[in-house]
Chain A
């Protein structure tokens, strides 16, 4: 392994691992190993430092679980691609530049392109495809929002620094930060567990998120039809009605299991739109942590559509029902799936009825052995890149902080399809 004599200290490093993409990380790199110096949440720290594991740097390409040279893995992959009658290239976590490459690759194999979380993010896009939408971004929430309603069962766990950096900051520019009111509505136990620091500004309200649309309806009619206690409901309603800049924040992934997921988020959005007739309010839907926003935006400007695209020789077409990769894979309609998983190491569920290639984070987990596994470098750790933050507005630069031990996903993709 290459050895670095001096130990550079990096400041203002952007974390690639959750869609808040906090950019204040300080770290040291010694012997090509990362040591986080910032005083941040342990789970965030771990995501950086797990890249020091020997197993990460030494893992090689694999064919059916057995180590193989990169060249042989490429050779086998090319064979699988050639023999496939229908190939899906599935973005399971990538930055802007890898997404650009993914689209080029899909066009070369006449395949279908989708993102693993498309079911969720298409619901968010549905809101402004069907109706009006008022949205906001993180700094506005930090500096202007005096009342924040957060619908959360697991948001505080999935976005560990959301409270500290955005919802309940020490300083706000346009309002008094200590007067902010933050209502965290959802699984109270779980929410409290995630936020150990006591903060009087935050109130946790136990609520079954399934009934969110009833809560919103109750706000509109000003009569409580939910299971909430009357005094809690009234306080909440009072805060909303007297707010100067209300923010309603949610993560659609927390509603996606409900059949009426769209109806819930649409109800929140419509309520916010109606408040804007006389006062100010905005929505802040949080995106997933698998490069969802980078996928939407990049695919959006390259094709006009957010995902679910099939390249068909001389043209491409979008069909949100037909080219839904997860459903195609589940119903065995695909010959080959190429998973590209460069940032997250969330477990992938593969289908053994089709061939599987994974170009992925060295610690990518899966339920069954893929036919080919090729480890790739991580943008933000091994390679430079660009990534969109959850609010769709800010794009941040990802730095190469280590000397890479694996090829970049772009390079691997180019080798596979050319």
Chain B
């Protein structure tokens, strides 16, 4: 393996509290080393460059049934006239384009947040075809008939923990996500809304209970990533209250609220739609063990895809272009794909844009908030550099606000917020913090001994967007994959998973359930490591749990 010497760069490594420090970095055998015995095979002069660890996207829909449905549904956006190799649209790129664009922006790990256990094999096969980056998934629970019936009959927490740990292993995932807890399931029984303290008709349990049980399971199993929660009432005006109630449901246990922008809406004013980012961020700032990602929206055409079939079915009336798909899936969950165009002439869309930015800027701790657009639901991940510029440049932000086709200035405090993110904060929210919250050891940092996932940017402080869009060099697994902004070499990342322990007796119970009610057997539901590497095409990397299981 070649050795690399990054010479004289301005290093940002928040894990080690290194901010903008001139430093040399050496890479050997895929790791960062203290020094090299011989002259490096490749020496990169970084005098005018900024060095950060490889970026991590902890919430991006890059694989699985719903993504593929969107690709096939929205073929008209795959641009046929631009004769590039890959024509797929930015908001539903092909696997190849996903990898090329992520690595081209200096991202080295990406996580698919809605991986249905029943659809896991497809999701992994699809993600295995994404080159360069490491990937992983959060298994979707909380709407599966098996778990709901367990909760409903008052099963002991330890049995639920066994089930959750088994699902993590069987579906090769790194975390657990719950989407509209109980709501997707209730929709199958024709319920059209389910508030946090509302009982589902079928199981007579509330979303609060489901979130509580799952947050506890994740915590007790020692899974590093807290329960990843897509709250109830997605996009409904006034939903900030149910968001806060959902956070309370965790009873102080770690919890991650995802695309919080879509859940920070008030219902004040003439239009019965207002920003509640102040209430939400106030809560975020004071409650420990609470993290969130934003799900910023960007103006333009995109597609919304979510497991939340209940809400997506309601949203289909806003589809643009007018086509959509909702699906009930295998007594497991559901999915809804609705194309959507965010327009700056729309009061609601413009305010959504402002709410996202307010949330970013009012959150005090960059370790608790993550940079996402909920790709592609708020906008494609390729808009991250633009978003970073919005956060780092108040003048740019205010200019855009002034130029919006609809005047929302009376409805947002955006202009009053003076804060500009620093490079150190950007490095924290896109590198060290996501690595920590996901439990990725040796990633998101540049310590000696950590994995050589490194991004080198040209120092263009007057053009931040361009700087973050096209890093000059990207090193992944110790290999220089991007050189002078051009991809050099195709490499394949690993699938990051976590494996808490469980009592195997759960398999017996499940086996019986599967035999009787499912349309596949348990043994074919489980994905083995061998299958991952030999058939699906991605090697597995098992990450440590935080500690031994509690109960």
Q: Report if A and B touch in the complex (beta carbons < 8 A).
A: yes
Residues of A within 8 A of B (CB): 11-12, 14, 23-24, 96-97, 100, 125, 128-140, 142-144, 165-166, 171-174, 244-245, 276, 279-280, 282, 296-298, 300-306, 314-318, 384-386, 388, 392-397
B317 (CB) vs chain A CBs: closest residue:
A132
A298 (CB) vs chain B CBs: closest residue:
B125
B189, CB-defined interface residue at 8 Å: yes
Q: How many A-B residue pairs have CB under 8 A?
A: 188
Complex-state Cα separation, A206 to B537, whole angstroms:
48
Tell me if A297 and B122 are in contact (CB < 8 A): yes
Tell me if B535 and A130 are in contact (CB < 8 A): no
* Sample of 5 further A-B pairs with CB below 8 A, known A128-B69, A304-B88, A317-B87: A135-B328, A140-B330, A395-B125, A396-B121, A397-B121
Tell me if A397 and B535 are in contact (CB < 8 A): yes
Interface set, chain B 76-129, CB cutoff 8 A to A? 78, 80, 83-89, 92-96, 116, 118-119, 121-122, 125-126, 129
Q: Which of B68, B324, B523 contacts A300 (CB 8 A)?
A: B68
B385, CB-defined interface residue at 8 Å: no
Tell me if A302 and B65 are in contact (CB < 8 A): no
Q: Which residues of B contact A139 (CB under 8 A)?
A: 118, 330-332, 517-519
A95 (CB) vs chain B CBs: closest residue:
B535
B209, CB-defined interface residue at 8 Å: no
B325, CB-defined interface residue at 8 Å: yes
A304-B78 CB under 8 A given contacts A131-B323, A142-B517, A396-B524: yes
B71, CB-defined interface residue at 8 Å: yes
What's the interface size class on B, roughly?
Answer: 35 or more
B63, CB-defined interface residue at 8 Å: yes
A320 (CB) vs chain B CBs: closest residue:
B75
Tell me if B517 and A136 are in contact (CB < 8 A): no
1/0 contact string of B303-332 vs chain A (CB within 8 Å) = 000000000010010010011111111111
Q: Which residues of A contact B319 (CB under 8 A)?
A: 132
Complex-state Cα separation, A317 to B82, whole angstroms:
11
A394-B330 CB under 8 A given contacts A130-B323, A173-B145, A301-B71: yes
Cβ-closest 7 pairs across A and B: A304-B88, A395-B121, A138-B519, A139-B330, A173-B517, A128-B325, A395-B122
Tell me if B129 and A304 are in contact (CB < 8 A): no
Tell me if A304 and B125 are in contact (CB < 8 A): no
Q: Which of B78, B322, B328, B517 contacts A305 (CB 8 A)?
A: B78
Q: Which residues of A contact B327 (CB under 8 A)?
A: 134-137, 282, 393
Complex-state Cα separation, A385 to B329, whole angstroms:
23
Q: How far is the CB of A407 from chain B (nearest CB, A)?
A: 17
Tell me if A301 and B63 are in contact (CB < 8 A): yes
A-B contact pairs, 29 of them (CB 8 A): A11-B523, A14-B524, A97-B535, A132-B323, A132-B326, A137-B118, A139-B332, A139-B517, A140-B329, A142-B517, A142-B519, A166-B519, A174-B189, A244-B190, A296-B72, A297-B126, A301-B67, A301-B71, A302-B95, A315-B87, A384-B531, A392-B69, A394-B118, A394-B121, A394-B519, A395-B122, A395-B125, A396-B520, A396-B524
Q: Which residues of B contact A385 (CB under 8 A)?
A: 535
Tell me if A315 and B121 are in contact (CB < 8 A): no
A124 (CB) vs chain B CBs: closest residue:
B72
Tell me if A303 and B88 are in contact (CB < 8 A): yes
Q: How far is the CB of B236 from chain A (nearest CB, A)?
A: 19
Tell me if B323 and A386 are in contact (CB < 8 A): no
Tell me if A386 and B125 are in contact (CB < 8 A): yes
Complex-state Cα separation, A24 to B80, whole angstroms:
45
Q: Which residues of B contact A386 (CB under 8 A)?
A: 121, 125, 535-536
Q: How far is the CB of A119 from chain B (nearest CB, A)?
A: 16
Q: Which residues of A contact B328 (CB under 8 A)?
A: 135-137, 140, 144, 282
Tell me if A24 and B521 are in contact (CB < 8 A): yes
Q: Which residues of A contact B92 (CB under 8 A)?
A: 304
Q: How far is the CB of A307 from chain B (nearest CB, A)?
A: 11
Complex-state Cα separation, A132 to B328, whole angstroms:
14
Complex-state Cα separation, A392 to B319, whole angstroms:
23
Q: Which residues of B contact A316 (CB under 8 A)?
A: 85, 87
B202, CB-defined interface residue at 8 Å: yes
Tell me if A165 and B519 are in contact (CB < 8 A): yes
B23, CB-defined interface residue at 8 Å: no
Q: How far is the CB of A48 from chain B (nearest CB, A)?
A: 17
Q: Which residues of B contact A130 (CB under 8 A)?
A: 323
1/0 contact string of B525-551 vs chain A (CB within 8 Å) = 001000100111100000000000000
Q: How far is the CB of A206 from chain B (nearest CB, A)?
A: 29
Tell me if B523 and A12 are in contact (CB < 8 A): yes
Which of A171, A317, A385, A397 counts the most B-chain CB atoms under 10 A from its CB?
Answer: A397
Tell me if B190 and A171 are in contact (CB < 8 A): no
Complex-state Cα separation, A24 to B63, whole angstroms:
28
Q: Which of B190, B202, B324, B521 contacts A279 (CB 8 A)?
A: B190
Complex-state Cα separation, A279 to B313, whole angstroms:
12
Q: How far is the CB of B247 from chain A (nearest CB, A)?
A: 31
B39, CB-defined interface residue at 8 Å: no
Q: How far is the CB of A117 from chain B (nearest CB, A)?
A: 15
Tell me if B65 and A392 are in contact (CB < 8 A): yes
B508, CB-defined interface residue at 8 Å: no
B437, CB-defined interface residue at 8 Å: no
A132-B324 CB under 8 A given contacts A139-B330, A280-B188, A297-B68: yes
B388, CB-defined interface residue at 8 Å: no
A306-B72 CB under 8 A given contacts A140-B330, A174-B145, A280-B190: yes
Q: Which residues of A contact B517 (CB under 8 A)?
A: 139, 142-143, 171-173
Q: How far is the CB of A241 from chain B (nearest CB, A)?
A: 14
Q: Which residues of B contact A23 (CB under 8 A)?
A: 520-521, 524
Q: Which residues of A contact B125 (CB under 8 A)?
A: 96, 298, 386, 395
B516, CB-defined interface residue at 8 Å: yes
Q: Which of B86, B189, B326, B330 contacts A134 (CB 8 A)?
A: B326
Complex-state Cα separation, A139 to B118, whole angstroms:
10
Q: How far is the CB of A10 from chain B (nearest CB, A)?
A: 11
Q: Which of B122, B516, B536 contacts A171 (CB 8 A)?
A: B516
Q: Which residues of B contact A395 (CB under 8 A)?
A: 119, 121-122, 125
Which of B65, B534, B535 counts the most A-chain CB atoms under 10 A from its CB?
Answer: B535
Tell me if B521 and A133 are in contact (CB < 8 A): no
Tell me if B85 and A301 are in contact (CB < 8 A): no
Complex-state Cα separation, A392 to B93, whole angstroms:
20
Q: How far is the CB of B137 from chain A (nearest CB, A)?
A: 14
Q: How far is the CB of B302 from chain A (nearest CB, A)?
A: 15
Complex-state Cα separation, A384 to B531, whole angstroms:
9
Q: Which residues of A contact B84 (CB under 8 A)?
A: 315
Q: Which residues of B contact A314 (CB under 8 A)?
A: 83, 85
Complex-state Cα separation, A347 to B414, whole angstroms:
67
B73, CB-defined interface residue at 8 Å: yes
Q: How far is the CB of B149 from chain A (nearest CB, A)?
A: 8
A97 (CB) vs chain B CBs: closest residue:
B535
Tell me if A12 and B521 are in contact (CB < 8 A): yes
